[in-house]
Amino acid sequence: MPETPAQKKTGAQTILIPTASGLYCPAGDFYIDPTRKVARAIITHGHSDHARKGHGAVLATRATLAFMALRYGKNFAGTSQIVKEGETLTLGDAKVTLLAAGHMLGSVQVHIEHQGATAIISGDFKRSADPTCPSFDVRPCDLFVAEATFALPIYRHPPPEGEIEKLLLSLHLFADRPHLVHAYSIGKAQRVIALLRQAGYDEPIHVHKAIAEASLIYENEGVSLGSLETLGADLSDPQAFDGKIILSPPGGVAEALHAPVTSFASGWMRLKSAAKSRGGDLPLILSDHADWDELVTTVKDVGAETLWITHGREDVLAAHIKETLGVDAKALSAVPFAPEGLQP
Amino acid sequence: MTPRSLAVEDLIHQLEMRRSTADQRRFLAHWLKGLPSKILAPCLGLLLGRPLGATVTVPALKTALFCRVNKDLFDASKEAGSDLSETLALLWPGGNEPLDLADLVAAVRTGPKDERLDTVAALLDKSNALARDLVMRVSTGRFKSPVSPDLLRSTLAEVFSRPVADIEQNLANSEETLDPFSSWLFGVPFPETLAEQTGFLSLPTIQACEPDATGGANLCIALPSGSYAQLVSNPDSCHLYTLAGDRLEGPENYEELPPKTTLLIFLPKNPAAQPLLLDILIKDGEDLRNLPRQQRLGALEELAAAGALSGFARTEVEPLPAAASLGATFDNPSIDRLFLLHAAGTLDPSSDTLGEVLRPPHELYFKILYAEGTLSRQGIFAGVVTLGAPATTSKQGNYAELVPVGKASLHRLSQKDKSTLETYIAENTLERFGPVRKLAATEDTSLIARVICRSIDRASRRKAGLVLKEANVMELFDNSAAYRVSSLDELAPLALW
Ligand SMILES: [Zn+2]
Ligand SMILES: [Zn+2]
């Protein structure tokens, strides 16, 4: 007997249950990006707010597992298993497929199918092109759980090429000074490097040790980043870095550099107030998270009947989506937690 | 990889983000160099804090926004944005285009009053986010210039090689609209045809362009006599642009120009453009290209001697200026006698001549008597110095009698020389009068300045009887380098009487 839409909707909403440890899939008995130690976890990508150590068994892409090993050491989990993007696994009663999320190398959405209903957990994602990872794979679903860091309509990222041009222009005008670009060491830093290479910049780029280590994983995964030089301890040679780009995680390089032009690459740099207080001389609006327009487009694209939103101003996005698309949208925090006893 | 020129909204953004004036100066200079004269006036108006006048109100813009975006989104966002203009700008759907400031000026200044909101809204609809923010701020009268008028004036002086005093005076005379200032700065009558608009001289008579054996290009200009000569750009003062349809592109490496390209040659009045006539390729219809170069140079010399190169002053230059760069281009050490042809003045695109003739610059050596200016944040002295010369050429000493001969700008000095000068000033200041420091300038003081000046004028009221015009300190030398300081005796014959 075919399911009625109402049944299907209910079906999709039972695929996932918010719990104190994070989103739980009872049909497959696993968590997605759990915040506490659990028996079985699917990890969407290597950032530390998603990939934590100490789980019993971990499923993730090869790159994500490599980032976890880099951060936490080899024994970051009891066991780990590589899943390829697009590959479908059967976990308990659920069919699970990891789909490219376009956020960083190895980042995926988790597509879960159970009794004819589908749910997708976006994980961190973006829609704009990124030379370091495959772009967001659009699949239809009934329930879409969207990460929405920039869920305010003022957050609209400019094209990344333009931001890189700003950096190159500054390098041209201030060839007598080092250019210290602050970017997170996994993901953002490599994207900045790849964008620079795309723009034709082929000079060696000086990188903080943490970035150098993560970049090796990129090279191993076939993402070429050109010539990188790891920063040593001594940065005080006043001329050595003039006219060079130095990439470092925020706080990674002290004031040792001589008169650097400082820059911070982040989506938050969209607002002048943030750019003035944190952006240094050269704020670059470069984000690996969907902006407002991408969020709205993506919800449209996946065609979900139900939308749960995490991060950002969930209320604003939920209200807008409800009104314009007629989707049942709410903040994930407003979805009732699992009843006692259902969680393992 | 040459970075593109800066759009005005990017410039404003960079100026607002950079805290140091020295940084701002570099952005301004870069921007001014790539700026078509057409939009110089409105841009300068903005930067000088001459607001266009509030022409639309914030409530009106809000109403227009709410036709495009749900009001709830504005309410949710207004706390998060940096300011109201930014919030409105980011919420406005917009496009990707850079701001055409001329459009904005036309919209807010000249358009019919009741249509202004619509025009501004249409501009917002197509503009990128930074441009929208600027449109919001300008059209509602909320824009404040991120740079001081002083910085702007001195940067204009630097980029266009004009004395700051002239810049100031011409700005002061252009109260109403800055168009006269712009025309003065670019030295051509203000807009009509593209050639005039951009302040470039159109030379549609260029006949051919093909690589020669040395890798240089034979770029031919029709000279008044119906002969053709080869032109080499002087990278300091002459840039070559191409005109493709109605688009101005460049500066380009002329070696890559296709034949029959119409060239526009940017000839700033000051310092004079210095096209070098290196060669003659066709004379009176006769193709000389197969002749030995020596013979061609002879033919060029004849033309010059006969006055056929009207509009050019002829100077034999020895040693060759910029020999290094010419060598790199032509790789021909046999070229040892060349004609440095100076041409400048009011450019008339319809005429074949390049206008008023200027003399070649003087290269002279002086001691520094006074320094006037301030130390920048980087500790680099920014300002002018007063140069001193002894009355007569002396073997040694007698520097107590150094007579001031004029001021010179420091903007051509290298960073290294600037810091040398700064140390020197700190160690040799005798007295201070406000920003002016009197420096010890005797036989003991070590610094000698190499100065290039455009001309030396007679000045009967000055002790020296003459004054340097448009002087730039190019380099600083240690006394021990045995450069002889120029004396008044030597300068006097150079002065234009
Ligand atoms: Zn992430
Ligand atoms: Zn995250």
A231-235, B347-351, B426-430: range with highest mean pLDDT: B426-430
Compute the mean pLDDT over every residue in chain A, rounded to the nearest whole number.
Answer: 90
Q: Which residues touch A11 (CB under 8 Å, ≥6 apart)?
A: A3, A114, A115, A116, A117, A142
Q: List strands edge to edge, sheet with B201-203.
A: B201-203, B263-266, B239-244, B247-249
| Contact call for residues B124 and B68 (beta carbons, < 8 A) | no
How much is the average pLDDT of A148-170?
93
Is there a contact between A282 and B80 if contact means CB atoms under 8 Å apart?
A: no
pLDDT, tens only, A236-253: 676 788 889 999 987 766
Residues of B within an 8 Å Cβ radius of A: 1-4, 6, 10, 14, 16-19, 23, 26-27, 30, 69-70, 72-73, 76-77, 80-83, 86-87, 90-91, 96, 128-130, 378, 415
Of the ranges A132-146, B41-55, B292-306, B418-432, which one carries the lowest mean pLDDT score?
Answer: B292-306
Min distance B28 CA to chain A CA atoms (Å) = 11
Q: Is the pLDDT score of A108 beyond 80? A: yes
- List pLDDT tens digits, range B367-414: 888 888 765 555 555 678 889 888 776 555 445 578 889 988 887 787
A219 touching B (Cβ < 8 Å)? no
| C-beta atoms of A154 and B90 within 8 A | yes
A175 close contact with B: CB closer than 8 A = no
Q: How far is A153 from chain B (nearest CA, A)?
A: 6
Among A173, A276, A315, beta carbon nearest to B30: A173
Contact A159 B96 (CB under 8 A): yes
Query: How far is B254 from A72, CA to CA, in rounded Å?
Result: 57
Q: What are phi and psi of A207, to 5 degrees?
A: -130, 145
Count of CB pairs separated by less than 8 Å, A with B = 84
Residue B188: pLDDT above 90? Answer: no
Q: A146 has which bridge partners?
A: A309
Strands A88-91, A94-100: pairing is: antiparallel
Strand ranges (E), chain A: 17-19, 22-25, 30-32, 40-42, 55-60, 77-82, 88-91, 94-100, 108-114, 117-121, 143-147, 179-182, 205-207, 228-230, 245-248, 261-265, 282-284, 306-310, 328-331
Looking at CA atoms only, how far is residue A13 from chain B in angstroms?
Answer: 28
Indicate if the pLDDT at residue B161 is higher than 80.
no
Beta carbons of A153 and B91 less than 8 Å apart: yes
Q: Check if A216 contacts B (Cβ < 8 Å).
A: no
Structure confidence by residue, pLDDT tens digits, A1-13: 444 444 444 578 8
Query: Which of A154, A165, A319 is facing B81, going by the closest CB pair?
Result: A154
Q: What is the pLDDT of residue B348?
A: 34
Q: Average per-residue pLDDT in chain B? A: 67
pLDDT tens digit sequence for B425-447? 888 888 877 677 888 776 556 68
- Is B82 close to A174, i.e. CB distance below 8 A? no
CA distance linking residue B380 with residue B386, whole number of Å: 17
Comparing CA positions, the residue from B264, B275, B269 lying closest to residue B230 is: B275
Give the residue among A58, A31, A37 at the shortest CA–CA distance from A46. Answer: A58
A152–B80 CB contact, under 8 Å: yes
Q: Per DSSP, what are the bridge partners of residue A24? A: A17, A31
Among B19, B72, B90, beta carbon nearest to A319: B72
With contact defined as beta carbons under 8 Å apart, do A129 and A135 qualify?
yes
Residues of B in contact with A200 (CB under 8 A): 1
Give the single-character DSSP code of A280: B
Q: State the pLDDT at residue B266.
A: 40
pLDDT score for B437? 80
DSSP H or E segment with residue B467: strand B466-478
Residue B251 has pLDDT above 50, yes or no: no
- Mean pLDDT throughout B340-356? 32
CB B331 within 8 A of CB B212: no
Span A186-227, pLDDT tens digits = 999 999 999 999 999 989 999 999 999 999 999 999 999 999
Structure-token pair, residue B170: 């011409």
Contacts of B73 (CB under 8 A, 6+ apart): A153, A316, A320, B91
What pLDDT, on a 0 to 100 scale, did the predictor assign at position A247?
94
How far, in Å, from the CA of A58 to the mean position of ligand 1? 17
**What are the Cα distances from residue B168, in Å, to A250, B45, B181, B361?**
44, 14, 10, 24
pLDDT tier at B263, thresholds 50, 70, 90: very low
Gap between the Cα atoms of A157 and B130, Å rounded: 11
Check A152 against B83: CB less than 8 A apart: no
Q: How far apart are CA B101 and CA B91, in angstroms?
A: 21
> pLDDT > 90: what percent of chain A?
76
> Quick check: A206 contacting B, CB < 8 Å?
no
Tokens describing residue A134: 């495959």
pTM equals: 0.65
Residue B403 host element (H or E): strand B403-409
Chain B nearest CA to A259, separation (Å):
9
Inform me whether the pLDDT recorded for A98 exceeds 90: yes
Query: Is residue B199 exposed (0-12), middle (13-18) or buried (19+ Cβ within 10 Å)?
Result: buried
Q: What is the pLDDT of residues B2-15, one digit of tens each?
A: 455 688 899 999 99
- DSSP one-letter code for B320: P
Q: What is the mean pLDDT of residues B230-246?
A: 39
* Strand (E) or helix (H) holding B367: strand B362-375
Prior bond of B271 cis (ω within 30°): yes
Give the Å distances, CA to CA, from B171 to B68, B153, B168, B345, B383: 41, 9, 5, 20, 20
pLDDT at B258: 38
Q: What angle do CA B389, B392, B397 make, to 5 degrees?
A: 75
Q: Do residues A104 and A45 lie in contact, with contact meaning Cβ atoms separated by under 8 Å?
A: yes
Cα A194 to middle of ligand 1, angstroms: 18
Residues B462-476: what's their mean pLDDT? 84
C-alpha A3/C-alpha B297 separation (Å) is 94
Q: Yes or no: say if A98 and A117 are a contact pair by the CB < 8 Å rule.
A: no
| B194 CB burial (10 A radius; 0-12, 13-18, 19+) | middle
Q: Show residues of chain B in contact with A271, CB under 8 Å.
A: 80-82, 86
The verdict on A264 touching B (C-beta cutoff 8 Å) is: no
Q: Which residues contact A288 (CB under 8 A, 6 or more apart)?
A: A103, A104, A124, A126, A130, A187, A188, A191, A267
pLDDT tier, B138 (very low <50, low <70, confident <90, very high otherwise): confident
Looking only at the bridges linking them, the beta strands covering B201-203 and B263-266 are antiparallel
**Which stretch of DSSP H or E encloses residue A274?**
helix A272-278
Residue B310, pLDDT above cutoff 50: no
Q: Do A272 and B16 touch (CB under 8 A)?
A: yes
Asked if residue A142 lies in contact with residue B76, where contact means CB atoms within 8 angstroms, the answer is no
Alpha-carbon distance of B77 to B83, in angstroms, equals 10
Q: Give the mean pLDDT of B40-48.
A: 83
Mean pLDDT of B472-490: 77
What burial letters (b/e) apply to A112-144, b meaning 16+ CB within 10 Å? bbbeebbbbbbbbbbbbebebbbebbbeebbbb
In this prediction, residues A290-319 reach a mean pLDDT of 94
Of B22, B28, B24, B38, the closest CA to residue B8 belongs to B28
Instruction: Answer for the pair A3, A322: CB distance below 8 angstroms, yes or no.
Output: no
**Measured in angstroms, how far is the CA atom of residue B102 from the centroid of ligand 1?**
43
